[in-house]
Structure 1
Amino acid sequence: MDINNLLLERELNVVLSRYARACDQRDWSAMEDVFLEDATADYGGLQHLQGREPIVAMIRVHLDGCGPSQHLLGNLLVDASDAAIESRVYVRAAHRGAGSMRDITYESLAEYQDRWVSTANGWRIAHRRMVISHEQGCRDILRPATEAAHG
């Protein structure tokens, strides 16, 4: 591995960390520094999305009404070829319910498989595929804020 590959891995890791923190802090404007405007995504085979706005809207639907969450990323692998820059990273996403569901939890173990593009403002995700390997708890706690308030 040469220094350029190490620097690339570090730069992609910073963007991935920005994503995890944006989710957990509900900082939706930070997603501009993560996804291309015309990015695509496939979250667990359940959501096929086109464009950063729909991607962020889907994430918000699941997290805005949820209590605290923590997205932990690890074991990043980067594949840099002449054709594309791709990465795979494990994600462990833990969530706690809000309101009447505050004692309920949901956790998923998955892998983000991303294709990247270099822009004038840094690396951005052009396509994300989330492959879920395990889920436990109650997915119902992932809901819009209005449902949590009435919960």
Structure 2
Amino acid sequence: MSLSKCKLIDLPKISDPRGNLTFIEENRHFPFDIKRVYYLYDVPGGAERGGHAHREMNQMIIAMSGSFDVVLDDGFERKRFHMNRSYYALYVAPMVWREIDNFSSGAVLLSLASNFYDESDYYREYDHFLRDVRGGK
């Protein structure tokens, strides 16, 4: 199952009294080249993001500030991850539906993606996603 591939990854954290430092190196901390970086911020209270899956794209999600929940669903199982530390990254494999909610005030979500934006890579309708994952397509 795709959900079994999704996991929290501890990123390096260098503690210093002047402030902590965390770094990310592609193909070292996660298994793909970074093609796109984007971030979500100023999400209104009660709003949800995500609500889609990708056919091929790999993704890392990091809470740069504040907190939020990521619900992952491979069509057979659902799992909720509470993201609230900037030294944890959530790896999201292809063919996993994601919903993001419970944003705290001031939350910033950073996404590192393996692909450039391509609308044809998206599942926007949950029933279409379920049909393909459960039908083995």
- TM-score, L = length of structure 2: 0.32
Decide which structure has greater strand share: 1
Length-normalised TM-score, structure 1: 0.30
Structure with larger RCO (C-alpha < 8 A, sep 6+): 2
Which protein has the larger Cα radius of gyration, Structure 1 or Structure 2?
1
Instruction: Give the helix-richer structure, 1 or 2.
Output: 1
